[in-house]
């Protein structure tokens, strides 16, 4: 301990104490510092004028920005403070720079700083030199401790242990420190579990192609509690902690859909701002990798469709890729003769400053009606003459049966929720009759309930219709041949656009557009480069279509599957 003659002359001192972590705060180590200071002052007959306690405050925060540190600096600037006692130098900061900045700031107002456990005094040159050395030692101690902690945390993370933080919705941490799917009933929704909510979310997006917004609204109608409501957690708003709105949002649903944890891969360390090693570790999956990937594809398609202005019902939207820059083609329309709009597919690298050409991709536009007719004719040709691919489609009937079971479970859930809504309505009216709530409250509650009930009934009708279709398929078509026969009936006559789009997305993998190299050297100068379109079907090899600036004005027909056949429409 340190004590010099100046203490005997000026016995009025101020105490500054600080702890950082919540664990230290719960163990009240700051009170231990205060008790030590009081005993120290009693021993040396010093008078304590004031005590400044920064409880749970990080040492990285500058002294003037800490609640009690700010008050200390203010009192020092007013001349109220002459000597400050600290338990040790680490109370001022965790790095040498923070410590020396705090000392310098107080010394500007004539304040001397002394440690009760370390031999230095800023009132003389020798003491200031020792302070500098101790500050460096404190920083070295902190960095060494952190490095040891990181190494230990990484070892535990590689073993799959959950090392703190908010557990993803659908999981819980078991007694051994590993996460597992949570199959416990939700509070207030005993027929559902967290893991079941995750499975339903992926079913709606991956298999029924719902948007994140639609899923969020549906979950709110079902009354499923989100994580913050379920756990009773709060969030920080400024200096206060408040409860959340307690509802599902589209952004929350989207973040959960792209979370790889649900397919069994968790990335440890990606949330930290530090430059550190990212560790991929295997965790129990809630959904299959195939279903997770299907959900990602639906999200990508939704983004592409939302970015397009619809002048024409683009049949191939989201399926066309540029063979030059790799970006996706989107639909747009240009004014032709007599200002009549003509639809085209245009590379995204031509209209935005992205890709390797920064918005100047040399790819050519493709007439929408020409390409759509060719692709649709190919799909119709396959449905009418499937050949050997019939065996592959036979396996899809198993998926139909699984989807039917999922639909039946969701219908049961909605019917239970509708019954619960009826009970809630009765309870609200009972409260009104007993004059516990006002008529205004009744009106508001019943309106919310009516909206939720209407949403659930609408979804119930959709599910029952889907279940009817699925049941008919399973009942009447026990193998893929009969399924194709049904498709043949559906493509007769006028076909709704949505049905055509669904058939095309099922049968077409990707369409690649690229510029061909002209065989005639003069064409390189006189004409635009011809276009080659590669259509990759799910039922055969890629088919190549060539588009030039001259030829017949009517689009071609016929299959020619697997061959490179030139199609020559009119000028465009």
- Predicted confidence (pLDDT) per residue in 152-178, tens digit: 666 766 776 777 678 889 999 888 888
Question: What per-residue confidence (pLDDT) applies to 311?
Answer: 59
Going from N- to C-terminal start, the domains of the chain cover 5-155, 173-292, 309-387+500-566, 390-493
Question: What per-residue confidence (pLDDT) applies to 5?
Answer: 43
Q: Return the higher-pLDDT residue of 324 and 5.
A: 324
Contact yes or no for 291/185 (Cβ under 8 A): no
Is the pTM here over 0.75, yes or no?
Answer: no
- Give CA–CA dist 458/453, Å, rounded: 9
Among the listed residues 161, 166, 222, 129, the one whose alpha carbon sits nearest the alpha carbon of residue 419 = 222
Contact yes or no for 543/534 (Cβ under 8 A): yes
- Report whether pLDDT(343) > 80: yes
Residues 28-41: what's their mean pLDDT? Answer: 87
Question: What per-residue confidence (pLDDT) applies to 279?
Answer: 75
Residues 356-384: what's their mean pLDDT? Answer: 82
- Report whether pLDDT(312) > 90: no
Question: What per-residue confidence (pLDDT) applies to 1?
Answer: 45
Among the listed residues 357, 326, 346, the one whose alpha carbon sits nearest the alpha carbon of residue 510 = 326
Burial 552-564 (b: 16+ CB within 10 A, else e): eeebbeebbbeee
Structure tokens at 520: 């005639």
Position 73 confidence tier, pLDDT thresholds 50, 70, 90: very high
Residues comprising the chain, all counted: 572
**Neighbour-count burial of 251, counting CB atoms closer than 10 A to its CB (0-12 exposed, 13-18 middle, 19+ buried):** exposed
Residue among 11, 20, 58, 115 flagged as catalytic: 20
Contact yes or no for 92/20 (Cβ under 8 A): no
Question: What per-residue confidence (pLDDT) applies to 292?
Answer: 95
Residues 437-458: what's their mean pLDDT? Answer: 85
Question: What per-residue confidence (pLDDT) applies to 195?
Answer: 92
Task: Please indicate whether the domains covering 5-155 and 173-292 agree at the CATH topology level.
Answer: no
Based on C-alpha coordinates, what's the Rg of the chain?
A: 35
Most confident of 223-227, 294-298, 348-352, 493-497: 294-298
Largest CA distance in the chain: 108
Contact yes or no for 278/270 (Cβ under 8 A): yes
Contact yes or no for 418/454 (Cβ under 8 A): no
Alpha carbon 15 to its chain's center: 47
In the DSSP assignment, the letter for residue 190 is: E
| 20 counts as catalytic | yes
Contact yes or no for 437/430 (Cβ under 8 A): no
Structure tokens at 325: 């820059």
Structure tokens at 538: 């799910």
Residues 223-229: what's their mean pLDDT? Answer: 78
Position 35 confidence tier, pLDDT thresholds 50, 70, 90: very high
Q: What does each C-alpha distance from 29 to 98, 286, 353, 420 come to in angstroms?
A: 22, 42, 56, 51
Q: What percent of the chain has pLDDT over 90?
A: 15
Q: What does pLDDT average to over the chain?
A: 77
Q: Return the higher-pLDDT residue of 554 and 471.
A: 471
Q: Is the dihedral of CA 247, 250, 254, 257 positive or negative?
A: positive
Question: What per-residue confidence (pLDDT) applies to 447?
Answer: 86
Report domain 5-155's class.
Answer: alpha beta
Q: Return the higher-pLDDT residue of 532 and 387.
A: 532
Structure tokens at 495: 């076909």
Among the listed residues 502, 410, 483, 455, the one whose alpha carbon sits nearest the alpha carbon of residue 209 = 502
The CATH code belonging to domain 173-292 is 3.90.1750
Question: What per-residue confidence (pLDDT) applies to 290?
Answer: 92
- Report whether pLDDT(484) > 80: no
Position 81 confidence tier, pLDDT thresholds 50, 70, 90: very high
Q: Containing H/E element for 155?
A: helix 125-158
- Report whether pLDDT(361) > 50: yes
Question: What per-residue confidence (pLDDT) applies to 25?
Answer: 45
- Give CA–CA dist 221/199, Å, rounded: 17
Position 258 confidence tier, pLDDT thresholds 50, 70, 90: very high
**Neighbour-count burial of 304, counting CB atoms closer than 10 A to its CB (0-12 exposed, 13-18 middle, 19+ buried):** middle
Residues 185-203: what's their mean pLDDT? Answer: 89
- Give CA–CA dist 318/345, Å, rounded: 10
Position 266 confidence tier, pLDDT thresholds 50, 70, 90: confident
- Report whether pLDDT(27) > 60: no
Question: What per-residue confidence (pLDDT) applies to 554?
Answer: 38
Across 316-428, the runs of DSSP E, i.e. the strands, are: 320-322, 329-335, 341-347, 366-367
């Amino acid at each position: 301990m340190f004590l010099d003659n100046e203490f005997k002359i000026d016995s009025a001192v101020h105490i500054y104490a600080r702890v950082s972590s919540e664990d230290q705060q719960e163990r009240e180590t700051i009170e231990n510092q205060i008790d030590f200071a009081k005993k120290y002052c009693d021993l040396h007959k010093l008078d304590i004028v004031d005590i400044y306690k920064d409880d749970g405050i990080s040492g990285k925060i500058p002294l003037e920005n800490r609640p009690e540190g700010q008050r200390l600096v203010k009192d020092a600037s007013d001349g109220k403070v002459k000597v400050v006692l600290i338990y040790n130098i680490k109370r001022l900061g965790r790095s040498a720079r923070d410590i020396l900045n705090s000392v310098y700031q107080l010394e500007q107002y004539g304040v001397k700083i002394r440690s009760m456990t370390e031999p230095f005094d800023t009132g003389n040159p020798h003491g200031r030199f020792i302070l500098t050395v101790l500050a460096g030692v404190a920083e070295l101690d902190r960095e060494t401790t952190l490095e040891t902690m990181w190494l230990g945390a990484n070892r535990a993370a590689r073993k799959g242990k959950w090392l703190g933080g908010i557990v993803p919705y659908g999981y819980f941490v078991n007694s051994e420190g590993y996460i597992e799917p949570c199959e416990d009933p939700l509070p207030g929704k005993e027929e559902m579990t967290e893991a079941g909510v995750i499975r339903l979310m992926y079913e709606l997006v991956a298999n029924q192609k719902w948007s994140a917004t639609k899923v969020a609204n549906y979950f709110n109608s079902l009354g499923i509690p989100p994580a913050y409501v379920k756990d009773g957690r709060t969030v920080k708003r400024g200096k206060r902690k408040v409860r959340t709105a307690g509802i599902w949002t589209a952004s929350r649903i989207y973040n959960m859909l792209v979370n790889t944890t649900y397919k069994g891969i968790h990335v440890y360390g990606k949330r930290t701002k530090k430059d550190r090693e990212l560790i991929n570790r295997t965790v129990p999956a809630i959904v299959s990798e195939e279903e997770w990937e299907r959900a990602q594809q639906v999200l990508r398609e939704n983004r592409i469709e939302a970015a397009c202005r619809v002048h024409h019902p683009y049949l191939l939207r989201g399926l066309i890729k540029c063979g030059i820059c790799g970006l996706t083609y989107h639909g747009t329309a240009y004014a032709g003769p007599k200002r009549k709009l003509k639809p085209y597919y245009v590379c995204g690298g031509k209209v935005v400053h992205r890709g390797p050409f920064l918005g100047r991709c040399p790819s050519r536009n493709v007439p929408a009606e020409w390409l759509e007719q060719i692709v649709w004719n190919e799909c119709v040709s396959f449905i009418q003459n499937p050949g050997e691919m019939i065996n592959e489609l036979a396996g899809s009937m198993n998926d139909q049966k699984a989807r039917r079971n999922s639909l039946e479970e969701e219908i049961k859930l909605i019917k239970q929720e509708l019954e619960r809504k009826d009970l809630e309505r009765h309870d609200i009216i009972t409260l009104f009759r007993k004059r516990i709530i006002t008529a205004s409250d009744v009106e508001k509650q019943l309106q919310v309930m009516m909206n939720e009930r209407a949403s659930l009934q609408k979804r119930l009708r959709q599910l029952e219709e889907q279940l009817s279709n699925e049941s008919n398929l399973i009942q009447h078509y026990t193998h893929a041949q009969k399924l194709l026969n049904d498709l043949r009936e559906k493509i007769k006559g006028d076909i709704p656009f949505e049905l055509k789009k669904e058939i095309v997305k099922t049968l077409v993998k990707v369409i690649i557009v690229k510029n061909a190299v002209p065989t005639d050297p003069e064409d390189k100068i006189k004409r635009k480069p011809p276009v080659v379109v590669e259509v990759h079907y799910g039922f055969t090899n890629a088919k190549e279509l060539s588009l030039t600036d001259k030829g017949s004005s009517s689009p071609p027909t016929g299959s020619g599957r697997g061959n490179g056949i030139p199609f020559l429409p009119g000028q465009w």
